[in-house]
């Protein structure tokens, strides 16, 4: 997970792209995780539990849950991972 995300972020450097997390860890765990895994992208912090307000609004029942949004904020892909995530991001990039 983390290595793939790091490489995607590196590949999209200088392009209109971001990973935006919604994190459900305790504050302490989250802070350790970003250090240990070199997580450079921002995250909302969802109150330290899986039933936090953002996850509830988004009806998230499993983690990780992924949505890919285009530049207008429209939901374009759901739960696309690994290679398929790269392809999805590339496809959206080509639309620009």
Partner 1 sequence: MGIGSAFPNIVENTIQLKKVNLLIIANSLHGEIPSRSQCRIQFDTNSLIDTHSICPYKDNMIRKIIPLTIAMMIGFHPVASMAQDTSGPTISKIIETHEDAVEVLYKKMRGKSREEQQKLYEAEYPKPDQAIESITALVLTNPGGSASLDGIDWLLRYSGQKGIDPALYNVLETHHLHSEKLQAIVLKMARSRTPETQNFLTTVSEKSKIKDARGAAILSLMKRIERDKEKEDEHTALSKTLFAEHADLIINGRNVTKSIKAEEKLAIGKVAPEIIGKDVDGKEMKLSDYRGKIVVLDFWGDW
Interface residue list for partner 1 (CB under 8 A): 1, 5, 8, 12, 16-25, 27, 29-33, 37, 42-46, 50, 53-55, 57-60, 63-78, 85, 89, 92-93
Name the residue among 87, 65, 91, 89 with its Cα closest to residue 78: 65
- Specify the residue for token string 């620009």: 96
In the complex, least distance from residue 41 CB atom to partner 1, rounded to whole angstroms: 8
In the complex, least distance from residue 96 CB atom to partner 1, rounded to whole angstroms: 8
Rounded CA separation 85/41 (Å): 17
Residue 66 contacts residue 80 (beta carbons within 8 Å): yes
What does DSSP assign to residue 73?
Answer: S
In the complex, least distance from residue 68 CB atom to partner 1, rounded to whole angstroms: 5
**Nearer to partner 1 (CB atom), residue 18 or residue 40:** 18
């Amino acid at each position: 997970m983390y290595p793939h995300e790091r490489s995607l972020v590196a590949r999209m450097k200088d392009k209109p792209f971001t990973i935006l997390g919604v994190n459900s860890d305790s504050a302490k765990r989250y802070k350790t995780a970003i250090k240990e895994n070199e997580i450079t992208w921002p995250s909302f912090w969802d109150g330290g539990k899986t039933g936090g307000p953002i996850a509830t609004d988004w009806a998230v029942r499993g983690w990780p849950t992924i949505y890919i949004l285009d530049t207008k904020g429209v939901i374009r892909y759901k739960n696309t991972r690994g290679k398929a995530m790269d392809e999805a991001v590339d496809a959206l990039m080509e639309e620009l």
